[in-house]
Structure 1
């Protein structure tokens, strides 16, 4: 051994040079083990009757028939924190989750109590939405993993999975086994308990199946948010705002919430003088006679777009019809609404257009008159409620429609399958319909009152 190396080793052992690993150098990271490994001191069971026990330094929850979702929750409440734990599921029936800033109302369900609020999913099914954010017993899914499909493979069935959850300010971010999963900005709850879920079961034969938890620890001081490195979609429930992360990734607001900057009337040089209103951060077209672009007119972006990720919130009134169109060229010279590919906005239950077209291809979130949206009723918000729409056009012409975070339409512009659909649609009279290299984004005036907010776009290369 060289003398210089030996000298360094001796100095280190004398304390003159530190021998600590890089991981242990971060003195500001102070973790508190909120599960002591021996018993459930500091925790209590609410919501259901599924039992929990401690064995070999693990919390084990047992599925129980004929009882609602059961939660083991901390007696202490927390505000901002970083939570880490390990979770294991051995049976496909054992859906689970982790409550973050959880809430409990003991008066609900005839005095049995109701747990509600942010829950980070543990989903062993083929759907694979583990790490997504579900608003338990309240708004439903805020971050389904259709928004981050790369993260669907992070969770390992039958193995220990390391969860990291950061709830700092309005931001909640999740990781599973080091994989970035969900990013939500929401301010509904700023404080609450931490909870571990044993989900209700539909089949009595699944009773007794186990869900395991261990190494539950939390950090509440000297918090430093961990920045996401990947290009992860952010669900932001604020009003016309972007996070620094979104700005860094190229997102821009198409509607600033204050005025009509960036928009004009279709076939016009200026924004419509009447019919379209901006108030309290909301862009609204007022109700008229139900005619298609025959009252106040559509509005379009001043700029044109080719490949992009477009997200927008919309709220329908009862029986309303509208749409968000893309690749609008304004070159057809037609009467009525400008021509373009359309993300349909429609009250499916009350507007007759839902029963027209072919096999439902004019219903909400469909590619209007071409492809029906494959959606479940549980992911649809009715009149008077805000829905989240999204259209992604990739550089290779693959296109996706989303409704409230769930992908409902997928196709390829210019493909033979696409052209075959156009050939039997109302668009067959326009040559190369929907295949322009670029176009405007359009919000439709169809004579019904519809509201928009949080319109944001990112160009894709």
Structure 2
């Protein structure tokens, strides 16, 4: 995500292949193999087995016309001058591709005008009349030098500000053309400026969208773009690990009960039963992967385990779990049979965000804790007002990234994380517990069939 993981890790020795592993899905994905891609350090991307065969780079701009591009705004001047796209306006707008892209690698150059200016490239931008929002690779020539950071335009604001990240901050040159490379594979976003890595981030919100060029709205300023091209890398989709009908693909151990009622997986435990922890775990081990679970929590303490070992003795699991409860610790990482609490939610604020940005993140976290989605609306069932929450967990190499309702909770490296192990849902023992799950999914490459 940010300095606390990835730029710090670049300064110390690490294996060249920190995120390649085989993934064996359970349930509907049984027998499917996938692996995460290496973070490329050079202009030529590393081979990624989890994508469709890479196509050749295709030009997005013929140097003569704006064919393939569209302006969704009622304002903004767009023109082609000497093989460049020029954007001029008095208020913010974006020129975007007509085509929607999924997994891809993009390259493009931008030249900022003198004086006050700001720009960027949209990655998987979402478009509606007079509005473009979503992921943006920033072009920021101010003294803070956050060019190449990740900004969520029109939604969560800064996701990866380049605060106190000197190597990345030095990549952008105010007085020259700057070459951006944007790589989107599944929920993994990587940005490079002039071949220097600036952002390495996992985010679950958008798996597709438009490529876009930004005019930030500085009156009379003209922004220039050239050498725009893209390589298709396939696509990803969510596949269920729970079929909504049965416990096929899963095993149970310990206390509590697991039943499927009307498409909902219900986990129940009772303090009167005086039973130990209960686990519902995958029949097959997992390595790298991104998981999405939708749950509704009534009372008690639960968790989602990754790369864990099922044991014969209580608490029947050894590994790292993502906390599921109604406390402020939801989404934090706890190592059962090990160090205990590893990190709690929002641990990254002190090292990854300047003080004047904390309030925005805390506001989004409060919204997520209340069960509100990005549109600030809860998801509830007709017969129950308890909100459904979405937790997304990405496990790549030793890195675990957790989002709650699309707000980042945790981005942490667990040095002693097992190379493989089961995923599991937990019922904490010796307490009254009610938790429902209606989705347990995994992000996989889209089948070509």
Q: TM-score, normalised by structure 1?
A: 0.49
Match of 1:33 in 2: 61
Are 2:316 and 1:313 equivalent residues in the alignment? Answer: no
- Kindly state the Cα deviation for residue 199 of structure 1 after the two structures are TM-superposed: 3.7
Are 2:323 and 1:344 equivalent residues in the alignment? Answer: yes
Aligned equivalent of 2:303, options 323, 330, 335: 323
1:225-264 to structure 2, matched below 5 A, reads 225=232, 236-240=236-240, 260-264=247-251
Residues 436, 332 of structure 1: alpha-carbon distance in 2 compared, 3 angstrom cutoff: farther
Match of 1:419 in 2: none
Contact 2:254-2:277 within 8 A present in 1 as well? no
Match of 2:52 in 1: none
Name stretches of at least 5 consecutive residues in structure 1 with no aligned partner.
1-27, 106-112, 201-206, 228-233, 241-253, 355-361, 415-434
Are 2:99 and 1:97 equivalent residues in the alignment? Answer: no
Are 2:296 and 1:300 equivalent residues in the alignment? Answer: no
Match of 1:197 in 2: 214
- Kindly state the Cα deviation for residue 133 of structure 1 after the two structures are TM-superposed: 9.2
How large is the Cα RMSD of the aligned pairs?
5.9
Alpha-carbon distance in 1 for matches of 2:71, 2:288: 43
1:403-414 to structure 2, matched below 5 A, reads 403=403, 406=408, 408-410=410-412
Aligned equivalent of 1:384, options 382, 388, 392: 388
Contact 1:59-1:213 within 8 A present in 2 as well? yes
Alpha-carbon distance in 1 for matches of 2:274, 2:137: 43
Match of 2:99 in 1: 78
Alpha-carbon distance in 1 for matches of 2:249, 2:127: 42
Are 2:369 and 1:367 equivalent residues in the alignment? Answer: no
Task: State the Cα deviation string for residues 44-101 of structure 1 (Å, max 9, x = none).
Answer: 766597777877765555796xx5x422357xx3357996531245899725223657
Alpha-carbon distance in 1 for matches of 2:106, 2:136: 11
Residues 35, 172 of structure 1: alpha-carbon distance in 2 compared, 3 angstrom cutoff: farther
Residues 391, 99 of structure 1: alpha-carbon distance in 2 compared, 3 angstrom cutoff: closer
Alpha-carbon distance in 2 for matches of 1:57, 1:344: 53
2:334 match: secondary structure: coil
- Kindly state the Cα deviation for residue 312 of structure 1 after the two structures are TM-superposed: 1.3
Aligned equivalent of 1:284, options 265, 279, 291: 265
Match of 1:115 in 2: 132
Range with bigger deviation, 28-37 or 371-380 = 28-37
Task: State the Cα deviation string for residues 395-424 of structure 1 (Å, max 9, x = none).
Answer: xxxx6443259572536567xxxxxxxxxx
Alpha-carbon distance in 2 for matches of 1:199, 1:286: 50
Match of 1:444 in 2: 426
Residues 154, 174 of structure 1: alpha-carbon distance in 2 compared, 3 angstrom cutoff: farther
Higher relative contact order (CA 8 A, sep 6+): 2
Contact 2:290-2:394 within 8 A present in 1 as well? yes
Residues 225, 393 of structure 1: alpha-carbon distance in 2 compared, 3 angstrom cutoff: closer
Name stretches of at least 5 consecutive residues in structure 2 with no aligned partner.
1-55, 348-360, 372-386, 428-432, 445-449
Match of 1:421 in 2: none
Residues 393, 32 of structure 1: alpha-carbon distance in 2 compared, 3 angstrom cutoff: closer
Residues 182, 53 of structure 1: alpha-carbon distance in 2 compared, 3 angstrom cutoff: farther
2:388 match: secondary structure: coil
1:78 match: secondary structure: coil
Residues 293, 391 of structure 1: alpha-carbon distance in 2 compared, 3 angstrom cutoff: farther
Residues 96, 310 of structure 1: alpha-carbon distance in 2 compared, 3 angstrom cutoff: same
1:112-151 to structure 2, matched below 5 A, reads 113-116=130-133, 119-122=135-138, 124=140, 130=149, 137=154
- Kindly state the Cα deviation for residue 342 of structure 1 after the two structures are TM-superposed: 2.3
Match of 2:259 in 1: 275
Q: Tell me which structure has the larger Cα radius of gyration.
A: 1
Contact 2:242-2:441 within 8 A present in 1 as well? yes
How many residues end up aligned between the 2 structures?
330
Alpha-carbon distance in 2 for matches of 1:290, 1:52: 67
Contact 1:87-1:211 within 8 A present in 2 as well? no
- Kindly state the Cα deviation for residue 275 of structure 1 after the two structures are TM-superposed: 1.8
Alpha-carbon distance in 2 for matches of 1:79, 1:212: 23
Q: TM-score, normalised by structure 2?
A: 0.50
Task: State the Cα deviation string for residues 231-261 of structure 1 (Å, max 9, x = none).
Answer: xxx9x44334xxxxxxxxxxxxx76888645
Residues 316, 115 of structure 1: alpha-carbon distance in 2 compared, 3 angstrom cutoff: same
Alpha-carbon distance in 1 for matches of 2:226, 2:178: 11
1:394-433 to structure 2, matched below 5 A, reads 394=398, 400-403=400-403, 406=408, 408-410=410-412
Contact 1:294-1:447 within 8 A present in 2 as well? no
